[in-house]
Amino acid sequence: MIALPLIPSLTELRRRRDAAPLPTRSDDGKIDNFAQSLREYMEPLVNLDGEVTCPLRDGAQGRVLRMEDVPLLPGTPIETPIYAPHSLVFPVPVCLSRELYIRGSLTIAGGSMLRAALIEGEASLGERTSVLRWIHATGNLEAGPESQLFGRASAAGAITLRHGCTFERVQAQAVYFGTQGKLAYENSPVWPGSSLVDLRLGRVRSNGDFYLRDSDAFQGDIVAIGCVRIEDNVLVIGSVKARTNVEIGSGTHLEGTIVSRGRTTIGARCYVKGPVLSEHEITIGPGTQIGTPACPTTVSAPHIRVAPGAVVCGAVWARESGQVTP
C-alpha cells in the first residue's frame, strides 16, 4: 500500500518513455528559414515536366499555376499548394489557403487572403490583403493600405507598409512605414565606426528621472530608475535605459540603444542607432530613422505604433500588435 503511489515512478524508471534530453533550440532563428523550407517542400512541383499536379511529401496535391489559369471570379478559394514558374497577377481578390511559391513577381488584388507565400521577385499586395502566416520576397514587398500581415513578413530588398497596415514581425534592409521614402542615412551619421558598446563610454546612473534639455549633447550610457526625457535636437552618444518610460523629442540623434521597461516614445525626424526595446509600447514619429542599411537593428515591443514617413532598417517585432498609424 505504501508503495502504491510509487508505481508510476517505478514504471517510468523501467520503461524510460521520457528519458531523452530535452530538445534545445538548434536553428539559427533566421526569418527566411520558412522560405527555405517551402522551397524544399515544393521541389516536386518545381521538377514537374508537363504535368500540372503532383503529390507533395505531406500528401497534399500541389498544383502548377500559370497566368492563364488565374481565377477571374472574385473570392475564388484555392485550397492546394501552388507553384508558379513565372510572375503572377491576380486581378481579383482570391483566397489562397495553402502555400504559394512564385518564381517571379506577384501582384495581388486588394481584399485577398494568403496563408504563406514565397515570391522570388517583387511582391505587391493590394489594400486590405491579409497574410496569415508568413510572406517572403527576394525583391521588394509592398503592402497596400489597411493590409494585415500576421506572422512574419520579410524581404531581401525593402518593405513598404502603407497607412493602416498592421503587422507582427517584419524584416528587411529597410522597412518604410506609410510611404517609400529616401533613407536619410545610409550609415550612422555620427559614429559610423565599430560598435559603440566596445568603446566603454562609461555610464550615469540616476535613482530617479533623467533629463536632457533642448540641444544638449551627452556622451555615455544613461541608466535611470525613473524615466528618461530627452528634448529636441539633442545628441546622445551612448545608450539609454529607463525602468519606466523613455521620451525622445524631435530631431534627436541617439547613437546607441534604447531600453525601457515602460513606454518608449520617439519624436519626429530622429535618428536612433538601435536596438530599441520596450516591455510595453514603442511609438515612432514621422521621418524618424532607426538603424541603417550598413548597420541594421531591431525594434521590439508588445505594441508598436509607427507614423507614416518613419523607416526602420532591420527587424521590427511587435509581439502583440504593430500598426502604421493613419
We find the least distance from the C-beta atom of residue 282 to another protein, in angstroms, to be 12
| Beta carbons of 183 and 174 less than 8 angstroms apart | yes
Interaction of residue 203 with another protein, rule CB under 8 A: yes
Nearer to another protein by Cβ, of 35 and 102: the residue is 35
Residues that contact another protein, how many (by CB under 8 A): 60
Under the binding rule (CB under 8 A), the answer on residue 257 touching another protein is: yes
Residue number, 101 or 134, with CB nearest to another protein: 134
Residue 274 vs 285, nearer CB to another protein: 274
Surface-to-core class of residue 301, CB atoms within 10 Å of its CB (0-12 exposed, 13-18 middle, 19+ buried): buried
* Residues in 258-287 that interact with another protein by CB under 8 A: 259, 261, 273-275, 277-279
Residue 291 interacts with another protein (CB under 8 A): yes or no: yes
73 binds another protein (CB under 8 A): no
Tell me if 22 contacts another protein by CB under 8 A: yes
SS (H, E, C) the chain: CCCHHHHHHHHHHHHCCCCCCCCCCCCCCCCCHHHHHHHHHCHHHHCCCCCCEEECCCCCEEEECCHHHCCCCCCEEECCCEEECCCEEECCCEEEEEEEEECCCEEECCCCEEEEEEECCCEEECCCCEEEEEEEECCCEEECCCCEEEEEEEECCEEEECCCCEEEEEEEEEEEECCCCCCCCCCCCCCCCCCHHHHCCCEEEECCCEEECCCCEEECEEEECCCEEECCCCEEECCEEECCCEEECCCCEEECCEEECCEEEECCCCEECCCEEECCEEEECCCCEECECCECEEEEEEEEEECCCCEEEEEEEEEEEEEECC
Q: Which of 31, 84, 118, 153 is in the footprint of another protein by CB under 8 A?
A: 31
- Span near another protein by CB under 8 A; candidates 71-79, 84-92, 104-112, 314-322: 314-322
Based on the shown chain and the rule CB under 8 A, indicate whether residue 308 belongs to the binding site for another protein. Answer: no
Task: Single out the residue of 241, 263, 269, 305 in contact with another protein (rule: CB under 8 A).
Answer: 241
| Binds another protein by CB under 8 A, chosen from 64, 78, 135, 196 | 196
Give the residue, chosen from 155, 317, 322, 324, that forms a contact with another protein under the rule CB under 8 A. Answer: 317
13 binds another protein (CB under 8 A): yes
Contact status: 238 vs another protein (CB under 8 A): yes
Residues forming contacts to another protein in the complex (CB under 8 A) are: 5-6, 8-9, 11-13, 15-22, 24-29, 31, 171, 194-198, 200, 202-203, 205, 207, 221-223, 238-241, 256-257, 259, 261, 273-275, 277-279, 291, 295-298, 300, 314-315, 317, 319
